[in-house]
Structure 1
Amino acid sequence: MGLREQKKEQTRKAISDLATQLFMEKGYHEVTTAQIAKLANVSVPTLFNYFPNKESLVFDEDIEREERLLHAVSSRKKGVSILDALLDFGLKNPAINSMNRKLVREFRSFIKSTPELSLYERQITMRYESSLAKVLQKEAKAKLGEVEAQSIAHFILDAFYRASDSSRPHKTLETLFAILKNGWGE
């Protein structure tokens, strides 16, 4: 990445961090994009060059997170199962790190309490599910149908969210992946 791209990425991150902080402090509906642009020392059109809408200000790492998720599967070492690679990916996620618990809880509460952000997050998750399902179909040893792959992708992403909301995130994630790995076996 060149210097210009680094500068743009730093500006984008700074705007997103500022916006998220303002939204969480004052309320999503109480803060305008014009206020954010002014505080970030950019024009409103420049703000929208970085972010297509107000909701995307909060989910600034959306594309990168999706890329890392898919990369965890496609670049896993030989002999490592897809589920083991995804479990390892999940366990390394900062959202389930005990040092970040307070911040994660506040952020998750903020998202859940803001209908526009909850909907936007759901749309992102649906895109992740679709992308992950395609990678699962491509990478799985056994042939997976479209519905099977989508269901597995849904369960995996749901496990990540449940772990981030849990008081024992690592244990929760490991337990949910064990169910997937071993089947329910009622």
Structure 2
Amino acid sequence: MTTPSASRRDRKKAATRQAIADAALQLFLEHGYDQVSIRDIADAADVSTATVFKHFSGKEALVFDQDEDREAELVAVVRQRPSGQSVPDALRQHVLDTWPAIAGHPQAAEFTDLVNSTPVLRAYSERMWTRYTDSLSAAIADEFGVEHDNLACAALARFVLDIPALARGRQDRRAAVETVFDILTHGWEPPSRPAAP
């Protein structure tokens, strides 16, 4: 009897968290990050400031509301991949399954502009990506029984995390992702010149 009620409670918490994050992003995009207070966000989401802090550690975390989920997903992709699937192939599939939808979001450009134009968000984003690199690198290292500071594992993690930025703005983002993973998997080869007409 308690399971449905716990499940309902979890859904309600998730919905409240999402409503707060959505309200915050909308306010940040409309007014600028520095012009919006936690009280403004709480009012827009119709919750108390205490509720905002119950769900988010601070103002920056409101912008990157899926941060912890993304980090956990990356680690799970490596650790829970099907038997026989290589680490790069598992990561390739994950990037192809998740990134194009994020990049194609109607607010993706506005979000990127917000982060890039706000020093505190840019710094937070860089710390977040460093943490992702460390977590992903450690998961890869564990799979091969090597030290967490193994350079090959760190390089793979770093390049995988940079793929969305490398592919951004390309006409065929999916093909760009595939190209970078092919380089990671098979090595770099000099590009060939187009044939003369």
- Structure 1 and Structure 2 fold alike (TM over 0.5): yes
Structure 1 contact 33–44 (Cα < 8 Å) conserved? yes
**Structure-2 residue corresponding to 1:64:** 69
3-state SS in 2 of match to 1:79: coil
Which of 54, 58, 61 is the aligned partner of 1:49?
Answer: 54
Offset of residue 81 of structure 1 = 0.9
Percent of aligned positions that are identical: 36
Q: Secondary structure at the match of 2:107?
A: helix
Alignment deviations for residues 44-78 of structure 1 (CA, whole Å, 9 cap, x no partner): 12211111110100111111111111111111111
Q: 2:158 aligns with which of 146, 154, 158?
A: 154
Say whether 1:15 aligns with 2:27. Answer: no
What is the letter of the counterpart of residue 19 of structure 1? A
Q: 2:173 and 2:82 mapped to 1: Cα distance?
A: 25
Residue correspondence of structure 1 range 103-114 to structure 2 within 5 A:
103-114=107-118
User: Contact between 1:129 and 1:150, CA under 8 Å: does it hold in 2?
Assistant: yes
The higher radius of gyration belongs to 2
Equivalent residue for 1:100, pick from 96, 104, 108? 104
Compare 132-141 and 76-85 and name the one that shifted more.
132-141
Name the CA distance, whole Å, in 2 between partners of 1:172 and 1:47.
Answer: 39
Q: Secondary structure at the match of 1:125?
A: helix
SS at 2:137's partner residue?
helix
Displacement of 1:161: 3.0
Residue of 166, 169, 180 corresponding to 2:184: 180
1:164 to partner: Cα distance: 4.1
Contact 1:104 1:164 in 2 (8 A): no
- Residue 38 of structure 1 corresponds to 43
CA contact (8 A) 1:105 1:165 kept: no
CA 1:102–1:41 in structure 2 vs 1: closer, same or farther (change >3 Å)?
closer
Secondary structure class of the residue paired with 2:104: helix
Q: How many residues align?
A: 185
Q: Say if 1:122 and 1:105 are closer, same or farther in 2 by CA, change over 3 A.
A: same
Q: TM-score, normalised by structure 1?
A: 0.89
Please give the per-residue CA displacement for 1:118-168, whole angstroms capped at 9, x wherever unaligned: 111111111110110011111248988622211221111011332345443
Q: Shift of the alpha carbon at 1:13?
A: 0.7
CA contact (8 A) 2:137 2:157 kept: yes
Q: Is the 8 A contact 2:103 2:168 kept in 1?
A: no
Aligned equivalent of 1:139: 143
Normalised to the residue count of structure 2, the TM-score between the two structures is: 0.85
Cα distance change on mapping 1:144 and 1:53 into 2, 3 Å: closer
Task: Provide structure 1 residue ranges, at least 5 long, that are not aligned to the other structure.
Answer: none
Is the CA contact (8 Å cut-off) linking 2:136 and 2:157 kept in structure 1?
yes
Question: Is structure 2 residue 80 aligned with structure 1 residue 75?
Answer: yes
